[in-house]
Amino acid sequence: MLLQADGGDTMLAKNFYIDGKKKLYFEKDEEMNFLTFDPIRLSYFEVSNIGAEILYCISKKMKLEHIVALITDEYDISREGCISEVIEFLNYIPIQDIIYTNLIQSDVYLYLEPFNKEVI
């Protein structure tokens, strides 16, 4: 997994944060999803483990190719399928406005609407 738990094992960490427009704290719930509070919409938002891994990579300013390489190494998905899923996830995530600074810092925004740069 991409997130390291305390002690260095490969289990998903119990929590992490993204320091974007507002600080978003993600915490794992009993169903193994990650939950955060959207301070702009005043509502909770839940993502799966894979969604949390993508967001964690964005918080670490990883480029799209690096994110895709990590996910395809961990999961049984083609490179092309992974690129498509990551871009779709980030295009339609309700908290995109909060993490947009992070998307710019990692250059991932270039692959999202309205830019839609082709991935080679």
Closest CA to 16 of 31, 36, 1: 36
DSSP string, 12-81: PPSEEEEESSSEEEEEE-TTS-EEEEETTTTEEEEE-HHHHHHHHHHHTT--HHHHHHHHHHHSS--HHH
pLDDT tens per residue, range 54-94: 999 999 999 999 999 999 999 999 999 999 999 999 999 99
Residue 6 has pLDDT above 70, yes or no: no
pTM of the model as a whole: 0.83
Res. 120 pLDDT band, cuts 50 70 90: low
Only one residue has tokens 């990551």, namely 86
pLDDT tens per residue, range 95-118: 999 999 999 999 999 999 988 877
Per-domain residue ranges of the chain: 15-111
The pLDDT, as a whole number, for residue 119 is 67
